[in-house]
């Protein structure tokens, strides 16, 4: 703890901080790059929709000694698609494979029969429709639309419209990246994937709201001071909640990482891969976008506000004045006294809240204005 | 959701013991209920536990030879899906197979006979005018339901376009027996009356016009059919299940037919006219409890545009008849009259209520039938077989093992980072897990909740959200300690701020869950349910467990004095420690602060 605890303490005091808002252009760039890659991936490779969405073929065998796992391998070899294999009460197997038409299904049937060493006549094949029909999909879109509208209204009331907009951008960012990676990796999209995406949607917003809540609290009385611009405070707010963000992300990602890397990688739980991948990418993107995208975006939008522009002017003017004064003070003293030397080093990171107390005590700011 | 919790939290703050006792009682009650009812595991979805697979074969309806086509099959799939999966949490799957089959997969533990009945037998819904009605067991009709215009349809019948065609329409009174209330309905009344074998003029006097006895005076063409119907009606004894099974089951929508129906515990037999409105005309139906009047449970219906017009026409016609049963229409499901409300006025506006002596279940099942509509085809069960889990057993075990490893890592991380505070964090996660597990187990038999793989993964993400709530809280406490406060005031000051963050962010999650649950169907709805449940549990756990436990532990010396291992050591946290200012330089100076800053 001590190291991270110290980090927390120093972040709290502002002794160390990362300039998230100041370096936002870099991160916007990174995000735009990833998003474009994702969109290109989606456009070029498309999503590999599973049997639940596009239907496919179902093969029913008569009583057989071939195991489910073996049949899965055979079916994958025969068709090139992931197959769902279930053992039936009759002792036979039901093998479902996505993306099949009649011709393809006949070929697959013949291959399956040779692989499983059974008579092709004993395998019954049929085309099946999607179990995740248009209605489920349409209603899901409808629900998403209504939710987006409501959540923007809610955030606009609870916070303000700029934060609502930024949260929405972050959300779309996360979803695009996750779907894009899906297209690039080429995993089959199952209902589990969709549920995973919806989980991401909830989590991404949740995480953004936690960060915004701290931002709102810290910027409550912003116009009553002239020491910090909105961006400064936004940056301090992110740094202040950084430990929380790291901890939450680690705790949320560890179990999913367990599923993805240990379960999928070493133990061969192949079908878990699809859902855990979407969760892993989405959770990581959600945590990233709250800090690197959403908050700087709010700062950008806020700085465009006349009130905040005026504030920034005052702050900059004050800083320039202070710097000028310091220079003259230094020029006057010209290194004559030892303690004066230390002063610049302490005052140096002026935009950091750590210097707040010292600065406040040293120069009664009220008079200068 | 948030508001009442906020109110209760005041007491949680002052009396931590009480909240802790409350949540322990809740845990004991839920787990007790779980063991007492014998549902010690959640029902698992078909992907995890397998289940039953039913293959249904479509058959053409009498009189509709080309009904088996893609559109109708897809409609049937949609309707069946909603029937077996009403709340979206039962994880049943419905899909077409080949050109004329539908497969319904139902998770293990569902009553497959019941499900088969739900998907297969419930088929056709019609609204037919009642021509005659008689109790089969000889009992007198007691409480026959009545239909009345729903709230928004208070417009008087004369305002409807159909009635304006006739100058003589005076249909303002609720039971006005004007024979010419509308041009269209008059015309239809004539043909109806002809079909039923009665003279047009008799519809005005409406007392016994449509009774089967009137059929004897019919013209020659219809008389054979009519007398056959009469014989059928006389012979029919609806108190016998064998007769009920066949009565009116093969009737075409355009036929006049006999049928059975139950009011309370008494079976009635009916003669019904041709279908006037069918199931597809009903847009939505829901069971509501009449809070203003004394009508008890009733069913509210909303018709589609075309349905509203048809319904207005048929009710206008029926309202001309003043005495039962000819002012009733029968709601006929699969040839059985489920309800036969009386009509006292033309119901326009596309909304209507069916009231009667319904119990809640009756009202809900009627609403179910009405809103999910009629299957465009009839189905026969072709085969029923068990299927194993779609996700192989080995994969499931690998997944569970991986999940367990992930959880162990979470615990190690929490202990490493929060040390003593993990005494709060880990039990909080544990309580949350126990509550989720117990509630999911109990919901299996009550609302057919089934846990599938996506839901399990959702629950894993919920670990993150639950953990976040106390991480936010802990970080707030630490911030307060860094400001130089001692632990107890730090906890009390940190709580209101952490609480707000938790409520605001959980509200967003809950909003997502609520909207998706209301709007969507199928698996998305099941997901929304899980998300909503875990979000509510998160709030409950943090309010009634994490916070009170923290308050109690803050009184212990180990935490209050900031022991090195408590996770709240002011020195380790780099607190300002105003009272120990002399010792302060030892803290930060020891750390690698200066080099980095310089």
pLDDT tens profile B311-362: 888 888 877 777 767 777 787 766 777 777 777 777 777 777 776 667 776 6
CA–CA distances in Å: residue B336 to residues A195, B225, B286, B314, B344: 40, 21, 20, 20, 23
Is the separation of the CB atoms in A303 and A312 below 8 Å?
yes
* SS3 assignment, position B38: coil
Q: Are residues A85 and A205 in the same domain?
A: no
Chain B contact set for A15 (CB, 8 A): 593, 597
The pLDDT value given to residue A50: 78
How long is chain B?
598
**CB atoms < 10 A from the CB of A171, how many?**
21
Q: Are residues A185 and A298 in the same domain?
A: yes
Pairs of CB atoms within 8 A across A/B: 301
Chain B contact set for A262 (CB, 8 A): 401-402, 405-406
Contact A258 B53 (CB under 8 A): no
In the structure, what pLDDT confidence band is assigned to residue A123 with cuts at 50, 70 and 90?
A: confident
Domain B46-121 falls in which CATH fold?
A: Alpha-Beta Plaits (3.30.70)
* 3-state per-residue secondary structure call for chain A: CHHHHHHHHHHHHCCCCCCCCCCHHHHHHHHHHHHHHHHHHHHHHCCEECHHHHCEEEEECCCCCCCHHHHHHHHHHHHCCCEEEEEECCCCEEEEEECCCHHHHHHHHHHHHHHHCCCHHHCEEEEECCCCCHHHHHHHHHHHHHHHHHHHHHHHHHCCHHHHHHHHHHHHHHHHHHHHHHHHHCCEECHHHHHHHHHHHHHHHHHHHHHHHHHHHHCCCHHHCCCCCHHHHHHHHHHHCHHHHHHHHHHHHHHHHHHHHHHHHHCCCHHHHHHHHHHHHHHHHHHHHHHHHHHHHHHHHHHCCHHHHHHHHHHHHHHHHHHHHHHHHHHHHCCCCHHHHHHHHHHCCCCCCCHHHHHHHHCCHHHHC
User: What contacts 24+ positions apart, CB below 8 Å, involve A157-165?
Assistant: A158/B504, A159/A212, A159/A216, A162/A298, A162/A301, A162/A302, A163/A212, A163/A215, A163/A216, A163/A294, A163/A298, A165/A297, A165/A301
| Unique residue bearing structure tokens 């980095």 | B596
For residue B166, list its beta bridge partners. none
Please state, for a pLDDT cut of 90, what percent of chain B lies above it.
1
In the structure, what pLDDT confidence band is assigned to residue A165 with cuts at 50, 70 and 90?
A: very high
Angstrom distance (rounded) from CA B173 to CA B346:
10
Q: Which of A128, A155, A184 is the last residue of a domain?
A: A128
Chain B contact set for A196 (CB, 8 A): 454, 457
Q: How far is A33 from chain B (nearest CA, A)?
A: 28
The pLDDT value given to residue B296: 75
Contact B468 A206 (CB under 8 A): yes
Minimum Cα–Cα distance from A258: chain B residue: B406
Q: Are residues A104 and A61 in the same domain?
A: yes
The residue that leads in pLDDT, B239 or A61, is A61
Chain A contact set for B464 (CB, 8 A): 203, 248-249, 251-253, 255, 283
Q: Which of A261, A283, A307 is the last residue of a domain?
A: A307
Is the separation of the CB atoms in B18 and B11 below 8 Å?
yes
Is residue B504 less than 8 Å (CB to CB) from chain A? yes
Is the separation of the CB atoms in A313 and A369 below 8 Å?
no
Is the separation of the CB atoms in A78 and A86 below 8 Å?
no
Q: What is the DSSP letter of B140?
A: P
Q: Could you tell me if residue A321 is inside a domain?
A: no
| Of residues A226, A212, A236, the one with CA closest to residue A307 | A226
The ranges assigned to domains in chain B are 2-38+392-585, 46-121, 125-373
Angstrom distance (rounded) from CA A216 to CA A212:
6
Q: Could you tell me if residue A234 is inside a domain?
A: yes
Interhelix angle for A295-303 vs A306-333, to 10°? 90
Terminal Cα-to-Cα distance of chain B (whole angstroms): 51
The pLDDT value given to residue A265: 66
- Across chain B, what does the average pLDDT equal? 70
Among the partner residues B419, B482, B516, nearest to A147 by beta-carbon distance: B516
Contact B457 A276 (CB under 8 A): yes
Minimum Cα–Cα distance from A190: chain B residue: B454
Q: Are residues A148 and A267 in the same domain?
A: yes
Angstrom distance (rounded) from CA B203 to CA B319:
11
Is the separation of the CB atoms in B177 and B322 below 8 Å?
yes
Among the partner residues B389, B479, B524, nearest to A198 by beta-carbon distance: B524
Chain A contact set for B68 (CB, 8 A): none
Q: Which of A151-165, B129-143, B164-178, B484-498 has the lowest mean pLDDT?
A: B164-178
Q: Which of A310-324, B26-40, B104-118, B441-455 has the lowest mean pLDDT?
A: B104-118
Minimum Cα–Cα distance from A90: chain B residue: B385
Q: Assign residue A158 the CATH number of its domain.
A: 1.20.1640.10
The listed range with the strongest mean pLDDT (A232-241, B105-114, B277-286) is: A232-241
Q: Could you tell me if residue A349 is inside a domain?
A: no
Mean pLDDT of the B231-240 span: 76
Mean pLDDT of the B423-442 span: 87
Burial B402-412 (b: 16+ CB within 10 A, else e): bbebbbebbbe
In the structure, what pLDDT confidence band is assigned to residue B484 with cuts at 50, 70 and 90?
A: confident
Q: What is the DSSP letter of B120?
A: I
Interhelix angle for A191-218 vs A230-240, to 10°? 120
The pLDDT value given to residue B110: 65
Task: Dump pLDDT digits (tens) for B522-531.
Answer: 677 777 888 8
Q: How far is B438 from chain A (nearest CA, A)?
A: 21
Chain A contact set for B417 (CB, 8 A): 1, 4, 247
Give me A245's structure tokens: 């963000």
For chain B, what is the total number of helices (H) and then of strands (E)? 22, 15
- Reported pTM: 0.65
Task: Dump pLDDT digits (tens) for B386-404.
Answer: 777 766 566 667 777 777 7
How long is chain A?
369
Please state, for a pLDDT cut of 70, what percent of chain B lies above it.
65
Give me B214's structure tokens: 């009137």
Among the partner residues A135, A213, A214, nearest to B521 by beta-carbon distance: A135
Q: How far is A29 from chain B (nearest CA, A)?
A: 28
Q: Could you tell me if residue A15 is inside a domain?
A: yes
Q: Could you tell me if residue A176 is inside a domain?
A: yes
Q: Are residues A43 and A72 in the same domain?
A: no
The residue that leads in pLDDT, B125 or B170, is B125
Q: What is the DSSP letter of B543?
A: I
Q: Could you tell me if residue A354 is inside a domain?
A: no
Q: Are residues A213 and A277 in the same domain?
A: yes
Chain A contact set for B410 (CB, 8 A): 251, 254-255
- Is the dihedral angle over the CA atoms B292, B295, B296, B299 positive or is it negative? negative
Q: Which of A291, A307, A323 is the last residue of a domain?
A: A307
Task: Dump pLDDT digits (tens) for B237-268.
Answer: 777 766 766 666 666 777 778 888 777 677 78
Q: How far is A140 from chain B (nearest CA, A)?
A: 5
CA angle B170, B175, B180 (to 5 degrees): 40
Give the helix/strand (H/E) hosting B103.
strand B101-107
List CB contacts of B265: < 8 A, sequence separation 6 or more. none
The pLDDT value given to residue A100: 77
Task: Dump pLDDT digits (tens) for B2-39.
Answer: 444 444 444 444 677 888 888 889 889 888 888 888 77
Task: Dump pLDDT digits (tens) for B78-107.
Answer: 777 777 766 556 677 787 877 788 888 887
Answer whether CATH 1.20.1640.10 is correct for domain B2-38+392-585.
yes
Chain B contact set for A5 (CB, 8 A): 572-574
Q: Could you tell me if residue A327 is inside a domain?
A: no
Instruction: Show which of residues 474-503 on chain B sit within 8 Å of chain A, judged by CB atoms.
Output: 475, 478-479, 482, 497, 500-501
Q: Assign residue A115 the CATH number of its domain.
A: 3.30.70.3400
In the structure, what pLDDT confidence band is assigned to residue A167 with cuts at 50, 70 and 90?
A: very high
The pLDDT value given to residue A173: 92
- Is the dihedral angle over the CA atoms B368, B374, B380, B381 positive or is it negative? negative
Give the helix/strand (H/E) hosting B355.
strand B351-358
Give me B488's structure tokens: 């107890």
Angstrom distance (rounded) from CA B208 to CA B531:
59
Q: Are residues A263 and A184 in the same domain?
A: yes
The listed range with the strongest mean pLDDT (B194-203, B410-419, B584-593) is: B410-419
pLDDT at residue B567 is higher than 80: no
Q: What is the Rg, in whole angstroms, of the alpha carbon atoms belonging to chain B?
A: 33
The pLDDT value given to residue B145: 43
Give me A344's structure tokens: 């610049």
Secondary-structure breakdown of chain B: helix, strand, coil percentages, each rounded to the nearest 5: 55, 15, 30
Contact B516 A199 (CB under 8 A): no
Give me A364's structure tokens: 């009664």
Is the separation of the CB atoms in A31 and A293 below 8 Å?
yes
Q: Could you tell me if residue A275 is inside a domain?
A: yes
Among the partner residues A15, A87, A264, nearest to B388 by beta-carbon distance: A87
For residue B51, list its beta bridge partners. B107, B387
Angstrom distance (rounded) from CA A309 to CA A196:
42
The pLDDT value given to residue B1: 41
The pLDDT value given to residue B568: 73
Instruction: Show which of residues 345-384 on chain B sit within 8 Å of chain A, judged by CB atoms.
Output: none
Contact A202 B531 (CB under 8 A): yes
pLDDT at residue A196 is higher than 50: yes
Distance of CA A94 to the CA centre of its chain: 38
The residue that leads in pLDDT, B459 or B164, is B459
| Unique residue bearing structure tokens 């040390």 | B419
Give me B382's structure tokens: 């072709």
The residue segments making up the domain with residue A145 are 2-48+133-307
Q: Are residues A161 and A285 in the same domain?
A: yes
Minimum Cα–Cα distance from A195: chain B residue: B454
Among B92, B500, B512, B569, most A C-beta atoms within 10 A, so best to mutate, is: B512
Quickly list DSSP for B452-520: -HHHHHHHHHHHHHHHHHHHHHHHHHHHHHHTT--HHHHHHHHHHHHHHHHHHHHHHHHHHHHHHHHH-
Q: What is the dihedral of CA B17, B21, B22, B28, to 10 degrees?
A: 160
- Bridge-based pairing of strands A188-189 and B351-358 is unpaired
pLDDT at residue A185 is higher than 50: yes
The pLDDT value given to residue B179: 36
pLDDT at residue A272 is higher than 80: no
Chain B contact set for A75 (CB, 8 A): none
In B175-305, DSSP assigns E strands to 257-263, 266-272, 277-278, 282-289, 297-303
Chain A contact set for B577 (CB, 8 A): none
Angstrom distance (rounded) from CA B100 to CA B401:
42
Give the helix/strand (H/E) hosting B55.
strand B51-59
The pLDDT value given to residue B293: 66
Contact B508 A257 (CB under 8 A): no
| Unique residue bearing structure tokens 């599938």 | B452
Q: What is the DSSP letter of B207?
A: S
| Of residues A109, A70, A63, the one with CA closest to residue A88 | A63
The pLDDT value given to residue B146: 43
Among B284, B504, B563, most A C-beta atoms within 10 A, so best to mutate, is: B504
Q: Are residues A64 and A154 in the same domain?
A: no
């Amino acid at each position: 703890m001590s190291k991270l605890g110290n980090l927390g303490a120093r972040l709290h005091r502002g002794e160390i901080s990362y300039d998230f808002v100041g370096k936002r252009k870099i991160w916007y760039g990174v995000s735009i790059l990833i998003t474009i890659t994702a969109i290109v991936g989606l456009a070029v490779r498309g999503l590999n929709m599973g049997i639940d969405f596009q239907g496919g073929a179902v093969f029913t065998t008569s009583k057989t000694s071939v195991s489910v796992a073996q049949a899965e391998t055979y079916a994958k070899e025969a068709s090139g698609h992931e197959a769902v294999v279930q053992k039936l009460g009759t002792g036979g197997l039901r093998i479902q494979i996505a993306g099949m038409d009649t011709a393809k299904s006949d070929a697959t049937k013949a291959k399956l029969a040779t692989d499983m060493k059974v008579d092709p006549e004993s395998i019954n094949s049929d085309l099946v429709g999607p179990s995740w029909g248009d209605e489920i999909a349409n209603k899901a879109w409808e629900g998403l639309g209504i939710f987006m509208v409501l959540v923007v209204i809610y955030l606009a009331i609870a916070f303000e419209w700029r934060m609502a907009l930024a949260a929405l951008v972050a959300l779309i960012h996360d979803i695009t990246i996750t779907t894009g990676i899906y297209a690039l990796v080429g995993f089959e999209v199952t209902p589990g994937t969709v549920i995973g995406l919806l989980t991401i949607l909830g989590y991404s917003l949740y995480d953004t709201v936690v960060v915004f809540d701290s931002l709102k609290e810290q910027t409550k009385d912003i116009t009553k001071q002239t020491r910090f611009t909105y961006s400064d405070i936004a940056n301090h707010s992110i740094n202040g909640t950084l430990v929380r963000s790291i901890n939450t992300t680690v705790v949320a990602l560890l179990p999913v990482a367990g599923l993805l890397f240990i379960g999928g990688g070493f133990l061969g739980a192949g079908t878990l891969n699809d859902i855990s991948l979407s969760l892993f990418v989405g959770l990581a993107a959600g945590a990233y976008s709250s800090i690197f995208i959403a908050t700087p975006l709010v700062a950008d939008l806020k700085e465009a506000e006349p009130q905040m522009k005026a504030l920034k002017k005052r702050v900059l003017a004050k800083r320039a004045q202070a710097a000028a004064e310091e220079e003259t003070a230094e020029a006057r003293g010209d290194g004559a006294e030892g303690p004066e030397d230390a002063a610049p080093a302490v005052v140096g990171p002026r935009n950091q809240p750590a210097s707040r107390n010292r600065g406040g005590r040293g120069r009664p700011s009220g008079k200068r204005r | 959701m948030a508001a009442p919790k906020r109110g209760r939290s005041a007491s949680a703050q002052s009396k931590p013991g009480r909240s802790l006792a409350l949540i322990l009682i809740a845990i004991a009650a839920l787990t007790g209920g779980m063991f007492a009812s014998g549902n010690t595991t959640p029902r698992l979805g078909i992907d995890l536990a397998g289940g039953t697979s039913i293959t249904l074969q479509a058959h053409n309806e009498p009189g509709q030879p080309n009904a088996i086509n893609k559109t109708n099959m897809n409609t049937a799939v949609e309707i069946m899906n909603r029937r077996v999966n009403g709340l979206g949490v039962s994880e049943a799957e419905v899909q077409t197979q080949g050109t004329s089959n539908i497969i319904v997969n139902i998770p293990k533990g569902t009553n497959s006979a019941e499900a088969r009945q739900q998907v297969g037998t419930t088929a056709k819904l019609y609204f037919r005018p009642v021509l005659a009605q008689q109790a089969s067991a000889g009992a007198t009709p007691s409480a026959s339901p009545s239909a009345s215009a729903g709230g928004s349809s208070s417009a008087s019948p004369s305002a409807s376009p159909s009635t304006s065609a006739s100058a003589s329409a005076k249909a303002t009174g609720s039971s006005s027996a004007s024979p010419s209330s509308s041009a269209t309905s008059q015309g239809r009344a004539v043909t109806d009356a002809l079909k039923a074998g009665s003279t047009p003029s008799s519809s005005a006097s409406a007392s016994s016009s449509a009774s089967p006895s009137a059929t004897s005076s019919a013209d020659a063409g219809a008389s054979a059919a009519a007398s056959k119907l009469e014989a059928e009606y006389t012979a029919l004894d609806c108190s016998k299940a064998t007769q009920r099974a066949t009565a009116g089951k093969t009737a075409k929508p355009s036929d006049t037919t006999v049928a059975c129906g139950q009011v309370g515990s008494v079976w009635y037999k009916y003669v019904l006219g041709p279908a006037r409105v069918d199931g597809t005309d009903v847009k939505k139906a829901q069971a509501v409890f009449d809070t203003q009047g004394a009508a008890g449970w009733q069913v509210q219906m909303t018709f589609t545009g075309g349905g509203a017009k048809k319904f207005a026409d048929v009710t206008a016609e029926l309202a001309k008849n003043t005495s039962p049963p000819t002012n009733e229409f029968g709601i006929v499901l699969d040839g059985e009259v489920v309800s036969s409300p009386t009509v006292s006025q033309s119901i326009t506006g596309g909304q209507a209520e069916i009231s009667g002596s319904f119990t809640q279940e009756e009202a809900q099942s009627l609403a179910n039938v009405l809103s999910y509509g009629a299957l465009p085809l009839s189905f026969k069960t072709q085969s029923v077989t068990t299927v194993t889990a779609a996700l192989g057993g080995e994969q499931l075990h690998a997944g569970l093992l991986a999940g367990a490893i992930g959880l162990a890592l979470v615990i190690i991380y929490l202990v490493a980072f929060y040390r003593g505070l993990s005494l709060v964090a880990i039990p909080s996660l544990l309580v949350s897990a126990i509550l989720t597990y117990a509630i999911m187990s109990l919901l299996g038999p009550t609302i057919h909740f089934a846990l599938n793989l996506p839901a399990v993964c959702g629950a894993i993400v919920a670990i993150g959200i639950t953990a976040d709530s106390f991480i936010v809280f802990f970080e707030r406490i630490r911030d307060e300690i860094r400001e130089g406060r001692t632990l107890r005031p730090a906890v009390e000051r940190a709580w209101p701020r952490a609480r707000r963050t938790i409520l605001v962010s959980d509200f967003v999650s809950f909003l997502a869950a609520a909207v998706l649950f209301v709007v969507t169907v199928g698996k998305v709805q099941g997901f929304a349910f899980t998300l909503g449940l875990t979000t509510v549990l998160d709030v409950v756990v943090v309010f009634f467990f994490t916070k009170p436990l923290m308050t109690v532990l803050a009184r212990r010396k180990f935490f209050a004095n900031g022991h090195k291992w408590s996770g709240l050591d002011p020195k380790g946290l780099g607190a300002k420690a105003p009272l120990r200012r002399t010792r302060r330089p030892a803290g930060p100076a020891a750390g690698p602060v200066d080099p980095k800053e310089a």
